[in-house]
């Protein structure tokens, strides 16, 4: 299969030396990239800045901002069977990027933020992607209902949900516990390393893609 994966955080510039970002390490997306490669699938990894090594044998596009990630996905997604949106994309970015470093003079300053493009939300509508679509949901409350709502609203085949209110799993951690939401079932995978979870997810996604191909006339 040809698999596109987004991973890592995005950085939204404030001025030439400052940005808004989040604590995503990129580990889950990179673990998925490794796991698909190990099974001889073709992987394009579109990644925000991380501390991780680029996995061998993946095609790699480095990006910084949500807009750059949107453009890279928009450019390539049509050529893929599976798209997995693992990136922790900033929801808002500064309206205006100062061309010079902002000086410390005023006692307070105001940043006006504007919504970034929803990349996953654009997959079916703007990019017309009709392959197998997987989103991630990082929630601090009502994990299952929020993730199921996302499955429908963003027209995904699968949402992989994790509880980011816990410090032992998820964001910036080596382990994760995920709840897999599909149209007709939920599956809970117990706490495990992101590498083991990735292998399990690769098997499941591969099975689902084969099933959906059989069901198509
Ligand atoms: O709506 P929310 O940000 O919680 O959705 C999470 C899912 O949507 C993740 O799969 C994330 O990669 C994706 N996403 C995106 N573009 C955004 C925001 C989120 O692709 N601007």
- For a pocket test of ligand 1, which of 48, 119, 127, 161 has the largest count of ligand atoms closer than 8 A to its C-beta? 119
pLDDT at 48: 98
In a domain, 160, yes or no: yes
In a domain, 90, yes or no: yes
In a domain, 102, yes or no: no
Report the number of distinct structural domains present in the chain.
1
How far apart CA 92 and CA 113 sit, in angstroms, is: 6
Q: 36: helix, coil or strand?
A: helix
Residues 4-46 pLDDT 10s: 999 999 999 999 999 999 999 999 999 999 999 999 999 999 9
Helix (H) or strand (E) holding 1: none
What is the extent of the structural domain holding 128? 2-97+108-215
How far apart CA 46 and CA 60 sit, in angstroms, is: 6
The neighbour count for residue 79, using CB atoms within 10 Å, is 11
CA–CA distances in Å: residue 213 to residues 7, 82, 131, 132, 217: 27, 12, 10, 10, 8
CATH number at residue 83: 3.40.50.10300
Helix (H) or strand (E) holding 15: strand 12-15
Confidence tier at 169 by pLDDT (50, 70, 90) = low
* Average pLDDT over the chain, rounded to an integer: 94
Sign, CA dihedral 9-155-164-36, equals: negative
In a domain, 103, yes or no: no
The neighbour count for residue 190, using CB atoms within 10 Å, is 7
Residues 177-198 pLDDT 10s: 899 999 999 999 989 998 999 9
Whether the CB of 118 sits within 6 Å of ligand 1: yes
Query: What phi, psi does 32 have (nearest 5°)?
Result: -65, -40
Q: Enter the pTM of the model.
A: 0.94
Whether the CB of 136 sits within 6 Å of ligand 1: yes
155 belongs to the catalytic site: no
Instruction: Express as a percent the part of the chain with pLDDT over 90.
Output: 87
Structural tokens at position 163: 């509880």
Instruction: Report CA Rg, the chain.
Output: 18
């Amino acid at each position: 299969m040809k698999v596109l994966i987004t991973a890592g955080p995005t950085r939204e510039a404030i001025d030439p030396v400052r940005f808004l970002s989040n604590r995503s390490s990129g580990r889950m997306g990179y673990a998925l990239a490794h796991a698909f490669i190990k099974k001889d699938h073709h992987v394009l990894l579109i990644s925000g800045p991380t501390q991780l090594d680029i996995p061998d044998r993946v095609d790699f596009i480095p990006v910084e901002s949500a807009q750059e990630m949107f453009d890279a996905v928009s450019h390539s997604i049509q050529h893929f069977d599976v798209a997995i949106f693992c990136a922790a994309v900033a929801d808002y970015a500064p309206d205006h990027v100062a061309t010079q470093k902002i000086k410390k003079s005023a006692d307070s300053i105001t940043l006006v933020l504007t919504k970034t493009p929803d990349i996953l939300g654009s997959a079916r509508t703007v990019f017309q992607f009709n392959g197998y679509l997987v989103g991630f949901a990082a929630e601090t409350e009502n994990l299952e209902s929020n993730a199921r709502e996302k499955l429908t609203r963003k027209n995904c085949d699968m949402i992989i949900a994790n509880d980011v209110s816990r410090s032992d799993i998820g964001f910036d951690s080596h382990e994760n516990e995920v709840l897999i939401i599909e149209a007709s079932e939920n599956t809970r995978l117990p706490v495990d390393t992101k590498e083991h979870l990735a292998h399990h997810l690769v098997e499941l996604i591969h099975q689902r893609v084969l099933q959906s191909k059989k069901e198509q006339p």
